[in-house]
Chain A
Amino acid sequence: MNHLSEKQISEWLAGTHRTDVQAHIQVCAQCQAEVDRLSDALVSFRGTVHQWAAVPNASRAVIPETGVARRFRFAWAMAAIFIVLAASLWWPRLRAPRAVTPHPDDDAALLLQIRTDVSRNVPGPMEPLSRLTPSDSATVRDTQ
């Protein structure tokens, strides 16, 4: 015996009740079981929606939060914390001036400048004043 096709079962469940399909369901236990299984599932679905709608504030107050929902929320929270931490660690580095690697020529120039500064008689900022007065040696020569 040919069993009902997928299409015929779907049409039956959708409400198109053809007499030949009905006759087959009455005599074929396998097709009847399949139709009953699906009908029962749809009836259970309807009952669940009706029950859920009938209880005020059901979705927020009564349905317990399952492990999946908790994990989902936890994952979002962890991701947010990670982003904040990463941003707080990387932001100062991005803003700070980059460290310049010393160059041999730069070192030589720096040493030269230090030597020049050290060998000065007067500090750099006071040099203009020293130019206004005669040097020590000249003063000594004049007095002699």
Chain B
Amino acid sequence: MGQLCVPSSVTRTVTDLMIESAAVDVAEDFDAVARLYRPKIFRFALACLRDRDAAETIAQDCLLKAYLAVHRFRGECSLQTWLMQIAVNLIRDYTRNQRLRFWRRMEQRGRMEGFENWLIDERDPEALTSSKQQVRTIWKAAHSLPPKQKMVFLLRFVEDMDLLEIAAVTGMKEGTVKTHLFRSVRRIRERLAGPV
């Protein structure tokens, strides 16, 4: 039986063409890409950092980096995953730099009071009060989580990503993501069950 042999040079050429095609598609309409994904990147950065200015900067830097590196976008993952990978790295760098800035943290703490007031709920006032209390507890608990657990928790429960997507964005294995997620959910449950 004759076997179809595809020379490696041809395979490479096909792959290269696919990469070029994906990159060209993205580069051609980067405005549309930015319009579509900027709110998502901003929201995730805001949830992680709780600082609107920093989240704006992260979203801006993320799109700039993506634009400059668009020729390296291979199309192996979705555009959203690729952009979120960049955002996650930028947030990690930012968090590392901010860890020792006491006054910045104090300022953020002041700003976050009343976060739960953004809850939109059409139920009766009693249920709304209870929901606000729960949201406040989850918010506080989420920010007391270790950085990796917090990142995974927010990607899952704010951005609604599945385990595989989170693994691709964070560069962790799926099993590791699952463990982080399980631990974070357990911690949140403990906080919701215990005294607030």
Contacts and interface: CB of A to CB of B under 8 A. Distances in A.
Interface residues of B, number: 40
Interface stretch (A20-28, A41-49, A106-114): A41-49
A50 B118 CA distance: 9
6 contacts: A41-B134, A47-B119, A48-B118, A49-B158, A51-B120, A54-B43
B157 A58 contact: no
Please classify how large the interface on chain A is, using the bins under 10, 10 to 19, 20 to 34, 35 or more.
Answer: 35 or more
A68 interface: yes
Interface in B151-185: 156-158, 160, 162-163, 178, 181-182, 184-185
A41 B137 CA distance: 10
Q: Is the interface of B mostly helix, strand, loop or mixed?
A: helix
B156 A48 contact: no
Interface string B20-37: 000000000000000000
B121 A14 contact: no
Given A42-B138, A45-B139, A72-B110, 7 more contacts: A7-B186, A45-B158, A47-B119, A49-B47, A53-B39, A57-B52, A59-B111
B52 A41 contact: no
A66 B113 contact: yes
Contacts, number: 107
Q: Is the interface of A mostly helix, strand, loop or mixed?
A: helix
Nearest to B42: A53
Contacts of A52: 46, 115, 118
B42 A14 contact: no
B182 A41 contact: no
A41 B118 CA distance: 14
Interface in A84-125: none
Contacts of A72: 110
B157 A45 contact: yes
A60 interface: yes
A6 B138 CA distance: 17
